[in-house]
Amino acid sequence: MCECCGQVKDLYLPQPATVNETKMMNETELYLKLSMDDEPLEYRPGQFVEVSIPGFGEAPISISSSPTKKDGFEIVVRRIGNVTNMIHKLNTGDKIGIRGPFGEGCYPTEQARGKNLVFICGGIGLVPQRSFINYVLDNRDDYGDITILLGTKNEAQRFYRSELQEWSQRDDIHLLETVDQADDGWQGNVGVVTKLIPKIESDWASSLVFICGPPVMYKFVFLTLADYDMSGENIFVNLERKMKCGVGKCGHCQINQYYVCMDGPVFRYSELGATPEAI
C-alpha cells in the first residue's frame, strides 16, 4: 500500500526505479544497485523482484543484498536472453521497472537464531544466498557457526571477489571454495562442491543447511548429506531459478501443490514432497 495516497499497489504494474551503480563481475554476470523512485523497497532475505525493460519484457531476479542495508537494493543478472541482454546495457541513471518483492517462502531468519548455518552455493546460486548470509553477518551475535561452501566452474567465473576475500579473513566465518577446472593461477580446492562437505567441522545435528545452485548439484548434495544423517527438516533449498511470473498465474514454477514464486522460493526439503530430479 502506498503511504502517500493509501492505495493498494497493482501487482502487475511495474514501479519506476533508478540504476545507481553497475559493474561486470565476470563475462556474464552484471551487478546492479537500484533504488525505487517512490517509496523504498521493503523485502526479506530470499525474495525476488520482476525487472522489466519496456518493449522487451521482464525477468525474475533474486535480491542479493540484505534488508539491513537501507540505501537501495542489489541484484546480479546473468546475460542469457533478450531481457537480460538489455539489462546489461543499462548505465548509471537509467530507469527500469520493478514489480515485487515476491515470494512468501523466505529464509528462516527467526528459526535459524542460535543454530549453526551451512550455505552450499553453486555458481550464481551464491547470489540469493548472499542476502541471508549478509543478514546473518549484520546480526552476528544471534547465530552460531557459519560455514559457506562455494563451487564455481573456473576461477574466471568467480564473482563478489572482494567480498569473498573479506569473508575468508574473518575469524567468525568458515569459507571454502572450489573450482571444477583449475588454471595455472588457482591454488585452492579443485572439484565439485560436494567434495567440500567432508571438510566441514560443524556439528551436523545442530546445523541448518541452505542449498542453491544448478539443477545437477541438488541431487549430489542430498546424497552426500545423507551420509551425515541430515534430516530433511534441517535442509532448505532455494529454487529461485524456477520463478517466472511471480504471482502464480503462468504455472511454470509448479512443483506438486506448490508454486515456487508464491510459496517459495525457499522450501524446507522435507515439506517439498519432490524427488531431487524434480527440483
Q: In the beta sheet, which residues pair with residue 149?
A: 120, 176
Kindly report the CATH class assigned to 116-272: alpha beta
Residue 221 to residue 198: CA distance in whole angstroms: 11
Nearest alpha carbon to residue 24 among 101, 80, 81, 78: 78
Q: Quick check: 221 pLDDT over 80?
A: yes
Task: Report residue 245's pLDDT band, with 50, 70 and 90 as the boundaries.
Answer: confident
Quote the pLDDT of residue 248.
80
Residue 233 to residue 270: CA distance in whole angstroms: 5
Task: Report residue 3's pLDDT band, with 50, 70 and 90 as the boundaries.
Answer: very low
Q: What is the mean pLDDT of residues 243-270?
A: 87
SS3 18: strand
Residue 271 to residue 43: CA distance in whole angstroms: 24
Q: Quick check: 7 pLDDT over 70?
A: no
Residue 188 to residue 211: CA distance in whole angstroms: 22
15-101 CATH choice from 3.30.70.20, 2.40.30.10, 3.20.20.70, 3.40.50.720:
2.40.30.10
Quote the pLDDT of residue 30.
98
Q: What HEC string does 147-198 produce?
A: EEEEEEEEHHHCCCHHHHHHHHHCCCCEEEEEEEECCCCCCCEECCHHHHHH
Q: Quick check: 175 pLDDT over 60?
A: yes
Q: Quick check: 276 pLDDT over 80?
A: no
Tell me, yes or no, if the pTM score tops 0.75.
yes
H helix intervals, 106-155: 126-138
Q: Quick check: 275 pLDDT over 80?
A: no
SS3 210: strand
Q: Quick check: 40 pLDDT over 90?
A: yes
Give pLDDT tens digits for 41-61. Answer: 999 999 999 999 999 999 999
Which triple of cell numbers denotes residue 175? 569459507
Give pLDDT tens digits for 98-138. Answer: 999 999 999 999 999 999 999 999 999 999 999 999 999 99
20 versus 231: the higher-pLDDT residue is 20
Residues 35 and 74 sit within 8 Å (Cβ to Cβ): no
Task: Report residue 241's pLDDT band, with 50, 70 and 90 as the boundaries.
Answer: confident
Cα separation values, 89 from 50, 79, 267, Å? 17, 10, 34
Give pLDDT tens digits for 64-80. Answer: 999 999 999 999 999 99
Quote the pLDDT of residue 9.
62
Q: In the beta sheet, which residues pair with residue 174?
A: 147
Identical fold at 15-101 and 116-272?
Answer: no
For the chain, the farthest-separated pair of C-alpha atoms sits apart, in whole angstroms, at 60
Torsional sign, CA 147, 187, 180, 83:
positive
Residue 135 to residue 132: CA distance in whole angstroms: 5
Quote the pLDDT of residue 4.
44
Q: What is the mean pLDDT of residues 273-279?
A: 72
Strand residue runs (E) in the chain: 15-24, 29-36, 48-53, 57-62, 73-78, 95-102, 116-122, 146-154, 174-181, 189-190, 207-212, 235-238, 254-255, 258-259, 266-268
What's the CA angle centered on 232, arms 226 and 238, to 5 degrees? 105
Kindly report the backbone phi and psi dihedral angles of residue 168, in degrees, each rounded to the nearest multiple of 5, phi listed first.
-65, -25
Q: Where are the domains of the chain?
A: 15-101, 116-272
Q: Quick check: 173 pLDDT over 90?
A: yes
